Chains A and B, each alone.
Chain A
Amino acid sequence: MIRIANGSAFWGDSAEAPLDLLRGGPLDYLTLDYLAEITMSILQKLKARDPRAGYAHDFVGVIKRGAKDIVERGVKVVTNAGGMNPVGCKDAVAAVLQAAGYGGRIKIGVVTGDDIMPQLDQMLESGIPFTNMDSGEPLSAIRARVQSANVYFGAFPIADALCRGAGIVITGRCNDAALALGPMVREFGWKAHDWDRIAAGTIAGHVIECGAQCTGGNCQADWESIPDIANIGYPIVEAEPDGTFVVTKHAGTGGRVNVAGVTEQLLYEIGDPKSYITPDGIADFTTIRLEQRGPDRVRASGIKGRAATDQYKVSISYSAGFKAVGTLAYSWPDAHKKARAADKILRQRMDRLGLELEAIHSEFVGVNGCHGEMSGEPANDIAEVVLRIGARAMEKAPVERFLKEIIPIALNGPPSVTGLNSGRSKVDEIIAYWPALIPMTAVAPQVDVASV
């Protein structure tokens, strides 16, 4: 049995969780996921400004603080913190380890090759259309606006790095679940065609990839009774060579691991549950059996899988215009009426200005901001309502003009209003996401392992 934890669900997750996992009890592997769909485009911009940047630098802090546990106890670390610059990330981590006196005592593995931006035009010319999986459009429609293009690699490059002695593995874009599946492939000697076990390891990775969302965080079932959320433990999978696993957390931590919470996470961000496709195989969620095996222990078994497809998924980001959002808080009396009046007045002013906006969207926070029309009518004496109004356009200028029109309405519109953050609102570039496929034969991961 090996223990694999996940201490980061996204870039910006708890800075303490990775350290708490390292120090809170027995552990073999610590995985850290930093990459959401849009993170790569942000990292691409950082790299364009500074060629040494472009990775999730929070990870360097984790290594700095956790170096003793990682090097001396031998807890292995697997992360996609490399983002757009895995080599740069490796250099920064190596520098930190050398400064701490651990030079020559640990190897770092780096997985590259996922960044296909430099070859994108050549690939298009060779006949790979990168058709949008949602809309069916060919990439040529937005080629000039593409900012990044990365292949999602699977678990085997990670396992390869571990086999070659890496104590830390840094990847660029890869399948989230691969961070946990890679160590299982390495430790248990699973083969690429062990489809059931590959599926089981993928599902184990899927359960923990969102961190505390499987240990009581963001859990709807009986949420008020979940103990000590302030001290919530991040998840650990106890993986067995036969593909069964137990989801748990360190003793003495808060939160809860039960069947209801793990099931919520199993269904998080999935499509057809019979065909959960990763680069390593296809997992069938309708075969999972869950059972409570003692406090904060949920066992999964029975998982079946099928053969992988012959394509990798590609995540392409592209520039898609500009947007801005402003907020105005109206108080009792007539809070909702005033907010609605302000919305109407603002729209009349936008009309008069003739701004070329693609969309204006208004929500009344406290009334219908989350659930729209299904929220129903608020009480007449509602204490306060926030008008949240946003606009979007291909050009920046009309969005800037829109934003300038919001603050004045505090003085030239309905009464008893305060600004929240509208004074600080800014125009954001919209980075849109273009999911596509690429034949596996068109690209190859590269694995390098070297001593610090």
Chain B
Amino acid sequence: MKIQLVKIAHARSGDKGDDANIGLLALKPQDYPVLVREVTAERVKKHFAGICRGEVERYELPNLLALNFVLHHALDGGGLVSLRMDNQGKTYGAALLRMEIDVP
């Protein structure tokens, strides 16, 4: 069955220079392994195609039931350089919650 991440996770995002980061958090402990399995760095890079021009790194925080994604060169230069409305990636967390994943 396919579901959208928003059903099982929440997220917050922000900027550091031209990089954005997204903290993705399981709403329930039993869904953390699903996030680890399904939401890979490769899938996130593909999800943000056209927005993220660099690599995506993923870090695991099992103690917080969370994953941290760093999206390199994802902000059109970042800060005041960027021409985008969301020049600080504030809505990228919500964008990640659009992703469809497989659940048993």
- A-side interface residues toward B, CB under 8 Å? 37-38, 134, 213, 218-221, 260, 263-274, 285-290, 320, 323, 325, 359-361, 363, 365, 369-374, 388, 390-392, 428, 430-433, 435
Contact = CB atoms under 8 A, between A and B. Distances in A.
A165 B15 CA distance: 37
Q: How large is the interface on B (under 10, 10 to 19, 20 to 34, 35 or more residues)?
A: 35 or more
Contacts of B65: 263
B36 interface: no
Contacts of A287: 63
With most chain A CB atoms within 10 A of its CB, the pick from B51, B61, B97 is: B61
8 contacts: A38-B80, A221-B25, A267-B25, A267-B61, A270-B21, A286-B60, A370-B85, A430-B81
B14 A269 contact: yes
B50 to A, nearest CB: 5
Interface of B: 10-12, 14-19, 21, 23, 25, 27, 47-51, 57, 59-66, 68, 70, 76-81, 83-86, 91, 93-95, 97-98
Nearest to B19: A134
B83 A392 contact: yes
A432 B79 CA distance: 7
Given A220-B11, A270-B68, A435-B17, 13 more contacts: A134-B17, A221-B25, A264-B11, A264-B23, A266-B23, A267-B12, A270-B23, A273-B68, A323-B81, A365-B85, A370-B86, A392-B83, A433-B17
B70 A271 contact: yes
Contacts of A432: 77, 79-81
A435 B79 CA distance: 13
Contacts, number: 129
B66 A267 contact: yes
A391 B98 contact: no
A160 to B, nearest CB: 29
A221 B93 CA distance: 12
A360 B12 CA distance: 28
Nearest to B11: A220
A285 B61 CA distance: 8
Given A428-B80, A432-B80, A370 B16 contact: no
A196 to B, nearest CB: 15
Given A38-B79, A268-B23, A392-B83, A370 B91 contact: yes
Contacts of B51: 372
B50 A373 contact: yes
A390 B80 contact: no
B21 A359 contact: no
A372 B53 CA distance: 13
A374 B63 contact: no
A42 to B, nearest CB: 10
B10 A272 contact: no
Contacts of A435: 17
A64 B71 CA distance: 43
Contacts of B77: 432
Contact of A221 (B10, B19, B85): B10
B17 A263 contact: no
B28 to A, nearest CB: 11
Contacts of B50: 372-373
Contact of B63 (A37, A288, A390): A288
B8 to A, nearest CB: 12
A435 to B, nearest CB: 6
With most chain B CB atoms within 10 A of its CB, the pick from A269, A320, A433 is: A269
B83 A273 contact: no
B79 A323 contact: no
A361 B11 contact: no
Contact of A370 (B14, B76, B94): B94
Contact of B15 (A264, A269, A361): A269
Contacts of B64: 263, 266-267, 285, 288, 290
A271 B21 contact: yes
A409 B25 CA distance: 45
B74 to A, nearest CB: 11
Given A220-B94, A264-B12, A286-B63, A323 B25 contact: no
Nearest to B20: A269
Contact of B25 (A134, A260, A289, A370): A260
